[in-house]
């Protein structure tokens, strides 16, 4: 029977009950905000921590847009008891008069209707980050309680919403007021989010950035979660009389993006003294760029459109990169920078800079503002407005060319930095090609290093990166040969934080890892060629193990970031203790778990060394025991502290760390690349004072086993 006939037969014999069950009655129509509650990820990206904090950003953005329009200069964000958040501004206040189309107040329309707001035309906002108009209504939909308090036209108005945005009544005037502004208080629905816990550091970091982006905007943040007695809900705006008895931060910057670049470079050594800055409007697009080169091999590019962070860049970033490369190449050729003694120009001696060359060591912030804005996706990760590209390219290109002419010393240092990057790129390419050729010739066998798995489907394959030959031996014996590969690394790998690719590739251990991964590195990196969809770092639970793990994370962050972003990098969690209670054996992965397993009702607790030897076996040879001795033995607890993976025999390692059915793995994520970048700079860079300060500030969080 042919495939075609089989299809016809299956259609003919389909039961009537199956074909008749799909009718108009099966079409679900979601009213109002119910669609948001059914599919929250479509509107806030995720129901994890990022999505939870996205609610705060959405409400704050409305207040920030008031400031961008010149209608407000104070915004307050307060974390309140009971998982509530309150955002206050001294802007115009949301209108409360009746909307002609919806027949309810403008406030209720905005709070309960998707794509409703003052950002779609008219005179509400000329520039706004929230042009989808779904922000505040989505927050309302995903909250169990929302309260809007409006001060405008001499009155104070209140409306409340319950259980996913349903209003409890019409907006009411509850008194007179001599101020203007909006106060939104909301409590996220814990049935929607995986966990409702707001991160103080994350909120402070985000709002500090917003203060840089809006000149002369004061932003205050308060944490009343453990200070309920200090919170007075009748007070309108705390920032006018700062309550210093609770954790609080206030930000106010007049320098704008220049101040932001200086702040981002606070742990770096600048190449040139002057921070470049330009702000100009072209064809209705306001372009603002600030940059400075530092003595580093990484670049830090932050992009914003209408003050919304664009993690994935967009058209304005494309325009900036094009202008940067073209301008520096033109200046090098025109100025004859790098002429040799025989008079040959640098342009002949050195090929043109590439985009990667001119980005090395660059800290830059690109910000555009435009009225008709297009983002790709509701979370606004990428700008799609085509007019932003041409405007950014023109404004930045002209201004940067003038900057180079007016600051020849700075220009010479910048050209020198890019030239060094170009030479390093060529050297790295030669070294990289050598490594890849060698890897191909050796067929990825790497005797004494990689013990590869049998499966060739990357989705099934796992690579364990283990510390030392001892752990390598145990893990090779305890692994599932079909799906699990083992790569033991000897000693601590090179600190790649400040090492160029050519130097990095001189490391035998790093070369082995690159070949094992299969993705190549640098400009030829290809995530599609990754040979294992689980790359697992398995190091000892001691200081040296933590150091090796940090070095590996730095390597992956700098050179294999797509592996982290794709969710392919993991950290193994081997147990800290083996606990024998009578004949029962358990493993504890934390001190708390150990205490719980040991319990209080035992006759004897015996700590043993890493060898795990005790006197139990010899005692069994003594022959018959009386009932009392048997009872003691039954309640005896033996605790073995594991210092390293090499101390486990293959069976123990398999059971606790490698068996997919029993092991614990932690997936490595980059929730905030800029914050991770800062921490890597501090811990792995050359600024000793900054590293010392960081360690002293965070020492209380350390878990040290002495």
Q: Annotated active-site positions, please?
A: 467, 540, 542, 544
Phi/psi of residue 165, nearest 5 degrees: 95, 10
d(CA 144, CA 163): 4
Q: Residue 311's CB: how many other CB atoms inside 10 A?
A: 14
- Contacts within 8 Å (CB) and 24+ apart, 518-525: 518/444, 519/560, 519/563, 520/432, 520/436, 521/432, 521/559, 521/560, 522/428, 522/429, 522/432, 522/559, 523/356, 523/429, 524/432, 524/436, 525/559, 525/560, 525/562
Q: Residue 581's CB: how many other CB atoms inside 10 A?
A: 18
Cα separation values, 656 from 195, 298, 503, 546, Å: 28, 38, 37, 19
CB 639 within 8 A of CB 608: yes
Tell how strand 584-588 and strand 534-538 pair up.
unpaired
Phi/psi of residue 528, nearest 5 degrees: -65, -20
CB 92 within 8 A of CB 66: yes
Tell how strand 584-588 and strand 577-581 pair up.
antiparallel
Q: Residue 548's CB: how many other CB atoms inside 10 A?
A: 22
Q: Residue 416's CB: how many other CB atoms inside 10 A?
A: 14
Nearest to 135 by CA among 241, 207, 61, 64: 61
Cα separation values, 318 from 260, 321, 565, Å: 21, 5, 22
Neighbouring residues of 295: CB distance < 8 A, sequence distance ≥ 6: 268, 269, 270, 271, 361
d(CA 198, CA 56): 9
Q: Residue 226's CB: how many other CB atoms inside 10 A?
A: 10
Tell how strand 172-176 and strand 155-162 pair up.
antiparallel
- Helices 408-441, 508-517: crossing angle, 10 deg rounding: 70
Q: What is the sign of the dihedral through the CA atoms of 253, 258, 259 and 264?
A: positive
């Amino acid at each position: 029977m042919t495939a075609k006939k089989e299809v016809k037969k299956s259609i003919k014999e389909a039961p009537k009950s199956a074909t008749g069950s799909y009718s108009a009655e099966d079409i679900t129509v979601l009213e109002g905000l119910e669609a948001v509650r059914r599919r929250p990820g479509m509107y806030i990206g995720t129901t994890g921590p990022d999505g939870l904090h996205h609610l705060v950003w959405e409400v704050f953005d409305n207040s920030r847009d008031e400031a961008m329009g010149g209608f407000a200069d104070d915004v307050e964000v307060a974390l309140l008891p009971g998982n509530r958040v309150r955002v206050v501004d001294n802007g115009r206040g949301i209108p409360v008069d009746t909307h002609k189309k919806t027949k309810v107040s403008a406030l209720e329309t905005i709070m309960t209707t998707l794509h409703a707001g003052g950002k779609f035309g008219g005179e509400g906002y000329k520039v706004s980050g929230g042009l989808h108009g779904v922000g505040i209504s989505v927050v309302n939909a995903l909250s169990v309680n929302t309260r809007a308090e409006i001060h405008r036209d001499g009155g104070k108005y209140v409306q409340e919403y319950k259980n996913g945005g349903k209003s409890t009544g019409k907006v009411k005037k509850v008194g007179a007021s001599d101020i203007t502004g909006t106060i939104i208080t909301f409590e996220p629905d814990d049935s929607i989010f995986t966990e409702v816990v707001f991160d103080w550091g994350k909120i402070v970091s985000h709002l500090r950035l917003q203060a840089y982006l809006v000149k002369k905007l004061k932003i205050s943040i308060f944490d009343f979660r453990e200070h309920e007695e200090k919170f007075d809900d009748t007070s309108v705006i705390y920032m006018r009389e700062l309550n210093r008895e609770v954790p609080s931060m206030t930000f106010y910057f007049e320098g704008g993006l220049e101040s932001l670049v200086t702040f981002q470079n606070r742990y770096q050594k600048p190449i040139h003294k002057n921070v470049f800055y330009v702000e100009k409007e072209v064809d209705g697009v306001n372009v603002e760029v600030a940059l400075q080169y530092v003595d580093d091999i990484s670049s830090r590019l932050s992009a914003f459109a209408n003050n919304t962070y664009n993690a994935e860049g967009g058209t304005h970033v494309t325009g900036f990169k094009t202008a940067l490369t073209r301008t520096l190449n033109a200046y090098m050729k025109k100025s004859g920078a790098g002429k040799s003694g025989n008079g040959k120009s640098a342009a002949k001696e050195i090929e043109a800079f590439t985009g990667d060359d001119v980005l090395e060591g660059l800290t830059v912030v690109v910000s555009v503002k435009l009225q008709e804005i297009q983002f790709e996706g509701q979370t606004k990760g990428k700008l799609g407005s085509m007019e932003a590209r041409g405007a950014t390219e023109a404004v930045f290109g002209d201004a940067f060319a003038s900057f180079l002419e007016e600051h020849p010393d700075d220009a010479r240092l910048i050209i020198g930095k890019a030239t060094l990057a170009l030479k390093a790129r060529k050297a790295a390419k030669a070294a990289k090609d050598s490594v890849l050729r060698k890897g191909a010739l050796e067929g990825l066998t790497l005797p004494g290093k990689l013990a590869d798995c049998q499966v060739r489907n990357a989705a099934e394959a796992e690579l364990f990166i283990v510390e030392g030959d001892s752990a390598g031996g145990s893990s090779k014996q305890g692994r599932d040969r079909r799906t699990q590969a083992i790569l033991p690394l000897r000693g601590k790998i090179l600190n790649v934080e400040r090492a160029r690719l050519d130097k990095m590739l001189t490391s035998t251990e790093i070369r082995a890892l690159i070949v094992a991964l299969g993705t190549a590195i640098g400009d030829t990196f290809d995530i599609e060629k990754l040979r294992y969809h689980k790359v697992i770092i398995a190091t000892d639970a001691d200081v040296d193990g933590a150091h090796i793990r940090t070095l590996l994370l730095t390597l992956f962050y700098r050179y294999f970031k797509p592996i982290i972003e794709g969710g392919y990098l993991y950290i193994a969690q081997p147990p800290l203790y083996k606990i024998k209670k009578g004949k029962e054996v358990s493993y504890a992965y934390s001190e708390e778990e150990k205490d719980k397993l040991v319990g209080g009702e035992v006759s004897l607790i015996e700590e043993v060394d890493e060898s795990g030897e005790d006197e139990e076996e010899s005692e069994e040879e003594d022959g018959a025991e009386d009932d009392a001795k048997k009872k003691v033995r039954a309640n005896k607890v033996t605790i073995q502290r594991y210092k390293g993976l090499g101390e486990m025999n293959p069976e123990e390692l398999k059971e606790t760390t490698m068996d997919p059915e029993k092991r614990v793995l932690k997936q490595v994520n980059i929730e905030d690349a800029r914050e991770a970048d800062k921490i890597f700079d501090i811990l792995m860079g050359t600024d000793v004072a900054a590293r010392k300060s960081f360690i002293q500030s965070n020492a209380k969080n350390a878990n040290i086993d002495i």
